[in-house]
């Protein structure tokens, strides 16, 4: 028995060393960490428990029968992050380039099933060359099993994809099915067809990084929610995100003691936000002023920048924040902004994270490109997401909220539980200038001094229909609040709504706009 135990430990050491120092050196030369180094950064020290470390493929042909390394190019298991159980798998690029074969896929299927059964988050550390060509259709079937499990786990456990190397072809669809996607600049790329195929079909010459690098997906496509310069920083942010999320859809997000006083006033907001609705300001500064310790985790920071989405804490409780951003396109909603916010609202609702919406929106972005690109369809996604959400929902109108964009940004009429407004708010069908031009068009045209008449009628319209208490008088705003009281107002409302329970009609599933 002692000999057997000694052999076991020796074999385990061989498995953990992988293909040897040369493979590790080559991985480091690419600017990347090994699979096990990444897992060490993700999990609490000494907590990782590996599953199926001795698994080998059974394929034959093309020389595969002579190359049967342990793990088959993927390390799977579980550990703890901030003391809470998390499951993970990490492609090992040093073995078969991290490519997916039948045994490799079976290991991933198993750990995904375990994560769902245990009700714990799943993190995938992606760095693979796609399907293992030598195994043919068996490899493709392995991807199908992953996609099916991603879909079944959606809204049940948090799924986080971390892109640390190449991800091409059908393999890219698994990260796309996850709740959050992280990418590292310079080493991670995602695309369906690579540069060579693009050039052969379209004649366009493009590099891997230009086609599917981290900044491309962080700024242009919206595939990546978080982009980082190095792996250590990226994995530390993954740990932070996990600390804000519940383990599954049957639990509430973890709460932490809050040293930031609930009654702390936000006196700086009065000077931070100009009363003139045409002057921009950075909504991020408003968010930092209101949330606990001024900390929040923004997602999709570089994409669809006219709306902000992120997670923070209020009174020690996780909240999701959706906010207009007046410094980008004046805070309008366009196709991408509506899609970005809709996805975020759905994720928060799936995992019982209350929603706070900070509104300063002049409307939807006008233009032929927007209309032909489906602004109606994409705007409806955001409307559907809010109307379908059963978590506590609180909205605050800081300055302006016009037209359909006012309705869509979680107005009381679509189910917001508590709605507030600052004392200089303007809630209306459209801005006073545009409204006067429509309502009083003939009167202005017939006047001896059209500009003077227009100015007078604009003033009258604002006094009659756009004064700060018009919506409150009609019960469409619960209260008009001092900006300095924003934090305390939000916290008190969240405390009152913490036990909110709402049932949706019985149905197989809804049919959201696509």
Annotated catalytic residue 170: yes
Report d(CA 238, CA 242) in Å as an integer. 6
Annotated catalytic residue 502: no
Residue with tokens 């559907």: 384
Q: Is beta strand 122-126 parallel, antiparallel or unpaired with respect to 166-168?
A: unpaired
SS3 387: helix
Instruction: Find, among 55, 8, 17, the residue nearest to 36 by Cα.
Output: 17
Catalytic residue chosen out of the listed positions 155, 316, 403, 404: 404
Residue 30 token pair: 């690419």
Catalytic residue chosen out of the listed positions 214, 405, 432, 435: 405
Instruction: Find, among 340, 507, 363, 372, the residue nearest to 435 by Cα.
Output: 363
**Region at 150 (left for phi over 0; alpha for psi -120 to 50; beta for the rest):** alpha
SS3 335: helix
Catalytic residue chosen out of the listed positions 23, 119, 145, 170: 170
> What is the chain's Cα-based Rg?
26
Is the CA virtual torsion 213, 219, 225, 231 positive or negative?
positive
SS3 465: helix
Q: Count CA within 13 A, CB hemisphere, residue 399.
A: 25
Q: Which long-range contacts (CB under 8 A, 24 or more apart) does 2-6 make?
A: none
Report d(CA 14, CA 19) in Å as an integer. 8
DSSP-derived letter for residue 65 is G
Annotated catalytic residue 118: no
Cβ distance 164 to 187 under 8 Å?
yes
Any residues with CB less than 8 A from the CB of 420 and at least 6 apart, and which?
Answer: 394, 395, 396, 397, 477, 478, 479, 480, 481, 486, 489
Catalytic residue chosen out of the listed positions 97, 136, 155, 169: 169
Report d(CA 270, CA 117) in Å as an integer. 50
Report d(CA 160, CA 124) in Å as an integer. 6
Report d(CA 140, CA 147) in Å as an integer. 11
296, β-bridge pairs: 312
Residue 230 token pair: 């190095």
Annotated catalytic residue 405: yes
Report d(CA 431, CA 366) in Å as an integer. 14
> Would you name the residues annotated as active-site residues?
169-170, 404-405
């Amino acid at each position: 028995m002692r000999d057997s135990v000694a052999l076991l430990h020796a074999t385990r050491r061989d498995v953990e060393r992988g293909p040897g120092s040369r493979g590790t050196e080559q991985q480091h030369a690419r600017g990347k960490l090994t699979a096990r180094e990444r897992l060490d950064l993700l999990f609490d020290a000494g907590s990782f428990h590996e599953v199926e470390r001795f698994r080998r493929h059974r394929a034959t042909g093309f020389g595969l029968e002579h190359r049967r390394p342990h793990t088959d190019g993927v390390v799977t298991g579980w550990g703890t992050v901030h003391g809470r159980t998390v499951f993970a798998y990490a492609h090992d690029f040093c073995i078969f380039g991290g490519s997916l074969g039948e045994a490799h896929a079976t290991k991933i299927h198993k750990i995904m099933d375990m994560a769902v059964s245990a009700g714990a988050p799943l993190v995938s550390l992606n760095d693979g060359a796609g399907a293992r060509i030598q195994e043919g259709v068996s490899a493709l079937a392995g991807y199908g099993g992953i996609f099916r499990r991603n879909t079944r786990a959606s809204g049940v456990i948090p799924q986080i994809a971390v892109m640390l190397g190449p991800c091409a072809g059908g393999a890219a669809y698994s990260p796309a099915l996850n709740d959050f996607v992280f990418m590292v600049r310079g080493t991670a790329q995602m695309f369906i067809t690579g540069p060579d195929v693009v050039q052969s079909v379209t004649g366009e010459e493009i590099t891997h990084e230009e086609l599917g690098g981290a900044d491309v997906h962080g700024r242009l496509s919206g595939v990546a929610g978080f982009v980082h310069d190095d792996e250590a920083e990226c994995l530390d942010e993954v740990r932070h995100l996990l600390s804000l999320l519940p383990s599954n859809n049957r639990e509430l997000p973890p709460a932490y003691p809050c040293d930031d006083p609930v009654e702390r006033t936000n006196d700086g907001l009065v000077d931070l936000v100009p009363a003139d609705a045409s002057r921009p300001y950075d909504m991020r500064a408003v968010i930092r002023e209101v949330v606990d310790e001024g900390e929040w985790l923004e997602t999709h920071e570089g994409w669809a920048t006219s709306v902000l989405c992120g997670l923070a804490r209020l009174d020690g409780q996780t909240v999701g924040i959706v906010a207009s951003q007046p410094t980008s396109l004046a805070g309008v909603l366009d196709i991408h902004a509506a899609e970005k916010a809709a996805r975020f609202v759905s994720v928060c609702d799936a995992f019982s994270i209350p929603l706070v919406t900070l509104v300063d929106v002049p409307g939807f972005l006008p233009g032929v490109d927007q209309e032909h690109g489906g602004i109606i369809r994409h705007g409806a996604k955001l409307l559907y997401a809010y109307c379908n959400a059963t978590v506590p929902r609180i909205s605050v109108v800081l300055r302006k909220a016009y037209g359909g964009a006012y309705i869509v940004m979680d107005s009381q009429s679509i189910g917001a539980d508590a709605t507030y407004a600052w004392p200089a708010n303007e809630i209306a069908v459209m801005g006073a200038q545009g409204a006067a031009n429509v309502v009083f068009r003939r009167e202005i045209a017939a006047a001896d001094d059209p500009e003077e008449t227009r100015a007078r009628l604009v003033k009258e319209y604002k006094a009659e229909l756009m004064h700060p208490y018009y919506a409150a008088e009609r019960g469409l705003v619960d209260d008009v609040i001092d900006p300095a009281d924003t934090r305390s107002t939000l916290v008190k409302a969240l405390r009152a709504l913490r036990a909110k329970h709402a049932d949706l009609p019985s149905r197989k599933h809804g049919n959201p706009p696509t």
